[in-house]
Structure 1
Amino acid sequence: MAETIRMVIAVLGNAASMSLYAAPVVTFKRVIRKKSTEEFSCIPYIIGLLNCLLFTWYGLPVVSCKWENFPIVTVNGVGIVLELSYVLIYFWFASSKGKVKVALTAIPVVLVFCIIAAVSAFAFHDSRHRKLLVGSIGLVVSVTLYGSPLVAMKKVIQTKSVEFMPLTLSLCSFFSSTLWLIYGLLIRDIFVAGPSVLGTPLSILQLVLYCRYRKGSVAEEPSKGDQEKGNSEKVDMEMGKVETNVTNHMNENS
Structure 2
Amino acid sequence: MNLSDLRGFVSSLAVITTVLQFLSGTLVCKQYVSNRTTAEASPLPFLFGIVSSGLWLLYGLTKSDDKIVLVNIIGVTLMVAYTIVFYIYTFKKSSLLKQIIIMVCFLLFVMGYVFVEEDNEELLSRLGLLACSLTLMTIAAPMSKLIYVLRVKSTECLPFPMILMSFFVSSLWSLYGFIEEDSYLIVPNFIGSVLALLQLSLFVMYPRISETSSLMKSIIA
TM-score > 0.5, shorter chain as reference: yes
Matched with 2:52 is 51
The alignment status of 1:127 with 2:123, answered yes or no, reads no
- Corresponding letter in the other structure for 1:193: I
The alignment status of 1:141 with 2:137, answered yes or no, reads no
Matched with 1:229 is 218
The alignment status of 1:102 with 2:96, answered yes or no, reads yes
Structure 1 position 86, deviation (Å): 0.9
Matched with 2:23 is 22
- Corresponding letter in the other structure for 1:99: K
Match of 1:112 among 106, 111, 114: 106
Per the normalisation by structure 2, the TM-score is 0.73
- Which residues in structure 2 correspond to 1:191-202 (within 5 Å)? 191-202=184-195
SS at the partner of 1:38? coil
Per the normalisation by structure 1, the TM-score is 0.65
Matched with 1:74 is 70
SS at the partner of 1:145? helix
Structure 1 position 149, deviation (Å): 5.9
Change (3 A) 1:15 1:112: same
Structure 1 position 21, deviation (Å): 2.1
Q: CA RMSD in A?
A: 3.7
Q: Does the 8 Å CA contact 1:121/1:130 hold for their aligned counterparts?
A: no
Change (3 A) 1:50 1:148: closer
Matched with 1:179 is 172
Q: Does the 8 Å CA contact 1:120/1:133 hold for their aligned counterparts?
A: no
Structure 1, unaligned runs of 5 or more = 232-254
Structure 1 position 23, deviation (Å): 2.3
- Same amino acid, percent of matched pairs: 21
SS at the partner of 2:118? coil
Match of 1:90 among 86, 92, 110: 86
Matched with 1:252 is none
The alignment status of 1:37 with 2:38, answered yes or no, reads yes
Structure 1 position 141, deviation (Å): 1.7
For the residues of structure 2 that align with 1:27 and 1:166, how far apart are their CA atoms?
A: 6
- Corresponding letter in the other structure for 1:119: Y
Tell me the matched-pair count. 212
Q: Does the 8 Å CA contact 2:4/2:179 hold for their aligned counterparts?
A: no
Q: Deviations over 1:45-65 (max 9, x none)?
A: 1121111101111111xx21x
Q: Deviations over 1:197-234 (max 9, x none)?
A: 20233445567x489x58x98xxxx9xx9594399xxx
For the residues of structure 1 that align with 2:40 and 2:145, how far apart are their CA atoms?
A: 16
Structure 2, unaligned runs of 5 or more = none
- Corresponding letter in the other structure for 2:127: V
Q: Deviations over 1:155-211 (max 9, x none)?
A: 58x95x98888997666443311210122344444433332120233445567x489
For the residues of structure 2 that align with 1:167 and 1:143, how far apart are their CA atoms?
A: 17
Q: Does the 8 Å CA contact 1:11/1:71 hold for their aligned counterparts?
A: no
Q: Does the 8 Å CA contact 2:173/2:186 hold for their aligned counterparts?
A: yes
